[in-house]
Structure 1
């Protein structure tokens, strides 16, 4: 199986909607089958809400089967997408699939509106973690499990897209990951089937390890499963309004470890499962990510030790967990970072803007892009200082050409402009500018952590009006689509042969 068809064929051919429809149909069938898990849980505990999952599963599964059957002629090319079809498929995954993921929230508890249900489903599948559902502790267990499943499936989908499609789509400098200079990536990427198998194995093993660890540290089976699903996907949907504040103690250290693991490049774990450990150890992303975590946590710990009378161990534990949660884009919380003072908030905003490693389920700008941006700034400074000196941008010893740098610049520009425009839009709905900016910042970075007065007292986005919620939905989708992909779909010529 190959990720894309020949580029020259792509330039001349119409978009084959059948192959895209076939894959989306199969994904809907899989989503319908996944609804059987919360259905079973609600049946076992005697909650009537199982009926909502039954109805939703039937609608989702039948619709998916009909779409797949009607597009079955695209089966022969379902694994060979043109660049335009890859754009369309990734958009369908993040925007179309949540329409059906939202059904249980509308049909059964918590019986919310379409806008709120779609917001929750998009937040789950994009692994953002923002919520419009308060009083989680009172919900049927099936609903809590479903939120975790949305996170888990979304994280798995993101990993597939990040490793197989984004490099081909050349989104935000990701073309670099197709080069031989990135260790063995150039040799690994074409073997999409092998990648998928190893990635799934790693993802499941990491999830099982996380579940087991959480149970050892006192979580119930349901809490452990849902929180592990959200941790491994860096999604942040928990089972309580208090998030990880409900499990203060050793569980925070465990959560920090698994969040860091989940924000590392998945392709490196795939390579490790093939017996190659050196790429992980040599990856400049990994080294920078771990170093920046240590610096950020250290700065916050020192500040809090100087300004707070909280016990040292508590300061270290809370600072580690919450900074890692924001850095990786998971969005769990065990304490209110806003109450620690202005400096920790600034640190949190900075690391949240960076995000985890590329080729992981983490969102935001990514460590890889940040490193290249720093390298470009350094090269420009050298050029200004020594005009006659040849200054080039290098990453891990590889000279980066315009095919890598131009999409990166477009990505950064689109990222900042989108934050600005959507923040202004949210503020026009009557929200204070700080809350509007924080809402869009956490949405586009797929972070989900709660900042701003408009989220109080529930700690959710339920207080925002319908227009603001749709703007946040757009931000979540744009952040997950890699910015440029979202804008490309708006161009009329994209749809022409």
Structure 2
């Protein structure tokens, strides 16, 4: 059996720390005297007590190194339990929703999905909208940390390819995981502050700049406005595009950049492909829109740029009438949402790295078929890709497609129409946050989905956030055997 005490100790500390962070929206609502401060005060107290007692009960195993199985369990446990405590303020105070809706919102926030069941968020207390943005930010930081340190060690979805890079090549600069975590935090916080200041300087109200800054860098998508970014000026939209892209690039490159080494960022094959694919998608959709409508070039370009970057970076902000464009634009959005952004960031999806390796593998196989006696080594970014990594990525692709289809069918079986079901599965597994379909259109949220469909979306959001295989591994009976 797996020794749960080291996992319980860390998990207890995380929940207790989460409770402490609730004091920020508590102080905000207390200062504004809107009558909702008690919700965050009570939730903070419950979280600190539960987390503290759990950590104390498991303290005799503190300081022990985690095994691979314990790392899997801790990773899954955090993304299952932390949203439960994060949801408590939504149940205790405003918006005073049922636990399933509160848990949906919290999971969407922590996984940086951005899909919401809250209608008229403009009318919610400031502390609630601040907390939603903070959930995005905290989740994005934790996701980036796991993507850089945990997943390569756990060999999830081909991420072992980055293990040597993260712990050996970079080891001369960042010799320990704690160094990576510390530098990552300062880079992440620095980008967030820069984003908030940029919004404020461009005319966004201070509170909205703070809430949007949290969500933008985390590629989370929660907005304190029901209209999201519709109605903001063009400079704010262009600034948001820049920060959404910055939030979806590999964070290890920023760490290297601030340490004086810019070359890895500019030579990274993921970064080049990511920017190139975004450019191709935006230009093609802009051209299609200009040719098929009376919209002028700049508004069409800006709307396509904002929404497609938001989708590919798995952020989930929206602006303009993009969901109603239909046809070609929606198909492009569907495909780039499946691809996603860069590995090692807070973004989700298949990831550019995995798609590149699969395409390289496909081309290598075609060349081998054409010249059977020819030896065609598989490389990525000038480095050889071993068979285990390719097999893991191929397995991940199969699992992603299968899960996408199964979740869509199961949501369809709950009574949701086929269009809404397909895009609900797409937005959940890819942590995209974009709603599309007849059930979403009236409110712009997923509030009208039946509870079983919401539960399926919750599971899909967590599975997509943890690269699918982490959930499958923990679910296997053999995982729990000695």
TM-score clears 0.5: yes
Residue in structure 2 matched with residue 33 of structure 1 by the alignment: 20
Residue in structure 1 matched with residue 265 of structure 2 by the alignment: 280
Residue in structure 2 matched with residue 329 of structure 1 by the alignment: 314
Q: For 2:138, which of 137, 153, 157 is the aligned residue?
A: 153
Matches within 5 A, 1:432-447: 432-447=417-432
Paired with 1:183 and 1:194, the residues of 2 have a C-alpha distance of 13
1:188 Cα deviation after fit: 5.7
Q: Is 302-311 or 124-133 further displaced after alignment?
A: 302-311
Residue in structure 2 matched with residue 42 of structure 1 by the alignment: 29
Q: Does 1:58 align with 2:76?
A: no
Paired with 1:423 and 1:110, the residues of 2 have a C-alpha distance of 29
1:187 Cα deviation after fit: 5.1
Residue in structure 2 matched with residue 233 of structure 1 by the alignment: 218
Paired with 1:32 and 1:288, the residues of 2 have a C-alpha distance of 40
Secondary structure of the structure 2 residue equivalent to 1:240: coil
Residue in structure 2 matched with residue 448 of structure 1 by the alignment: 433
1:333 Cα deviation after fit: 0.2
Q: Unpaired runs of 5+ in structure 1?
A: 1-13
**Retained in 2: the 8 A contact 1:183–1:279?**
no
**Retained in 1: the 8 A contact 2:25–2:131?**
yes
1:279 Cα deviation after fit: 1.1
Q: Does 1:172 align with 2:178?
A: no
RMSD of aligned residue pairs (Cα, Å): 1.4
Residue in structure 2 matched with residue 4 of structure 1 by the alignment: none
Q: Is 401-410 or 46-55 further displaced after alignment?
A: 401-410
Q: Does 1:91 align with 2:79?
A: no
1:392 Cα deviation after fit: 2.8
Aligned residues: 482
Residue in structure 1 matched with residue 412 of structure 2 by the alignment: 427
Paired with 1:205 and 1:76, the residues of 2 have a C-alpha distance of 30
Q: For 1:353, which of 311, 326, 338 is the aligned residue?
A: 338
Q: Unpaired runs of 5+ in structure 2?
A: none
Matches within 5 A, 1:92-111: 92-111=77-96
TM-score, length-scaled by structure 2: 0.98
Paired with 2:405 and 2:335, the residues of 1 have a C-alpha distance of 17
Deviations 1:448-470 (A, max 9, x none): 01111111200101010010000
**Retained in 2: the 8 A contact 1:188–1:195?**
no
Residue in structure 1 matched with residue 56 of structure 2 by the alignment: 69
Paired with 2:255 and 2:71, the residues of 1 have a C-alpha distance of 22
Residue in structure 2 matched with residue 144 of structure 1 by the alignment: 129
1:401 Cα deviation after fit: 1.4
**Retained in 2: the 8 A contact 1:248–1:334?**
no
Q: Does 1:258 align with 2:238?
A: no
TM-score, length-scaled by structure 1: 0.95
Deviations 1:13-45 (A, max 9, x none): x53322211111111111111111111111111
1:186 Cα deviation after fit: 5.8
Paired with 2:68 and 2:115, the residues of 1 have a C-alpha distance of 31
**Retained in 2: the 8 A contact 1:124–1:154?**
yes
Deviations 1:52-84 (A, max 9, x none): 11110100111111111111112221xx22111
Residue in structure 1 matched with residue 353 of structure 2 by the alignment: 368
Q: Is 351-360 or 377-386 further displaced after alignment?
A: 377-386
